[in-house]
Amino acid sequence: QVQLQESGPGLVKPSETLSLTCTVSSASISSYYWSWIRQSPGKGLEWIGYIYYSGSTNYNPSLRSRATISVDTSKNQFSLKLSSVTAADTAMYYCASGGSGWYDNWGQGTLVTVSS
């Protein structure tokens, strides 16, 4: 069973960059697609984007200008950077396995609050 674990700061100031990392275990990151998905408090799911181990990416058009997803195969990790954050970016951030298909494994999620 693939396991994913998100890590990163739980508090980010407005206008700064949110940075999260997802560590993958029990599977090689060099074999699949990997995604970031977020959920604002009390709201539904919003896809941020995905990356293939080769580095190719695809983003939600609404976040494309601010989101960057990268992969570090040597550490079996992939990461998310979201720039110029506002309170609207406050959410639970999940990493998951999958790209344009289904998401069959999810991390437990990490809550990121944007506040000064």
Q: Catalog residues that contact other proteins under the rule CB under 8 A.
A: 35, 37, 44-47, 50, 58, 60-61, 94, 100-104, 106-109
Is residue 92 packed enough to be buried (19+ CB in 10 Å), middle (13-18) or exposed (0-12)?
middle
CB of 49 to other proteins, least distance (A): 9
How many angstroms from the chain centroid is the CA of residue 40? 14
Dig out the tokens for 30 from the structure: 């060099």
CB of 39 to other proteins, least distance (A): 9
Query: Which residue type sits at 15?
Result: S
CB of 104 to other proteins, least distance (A): 5
Q: Which is closer to other proteins, CB of 72 or CB of 104?
A: 104
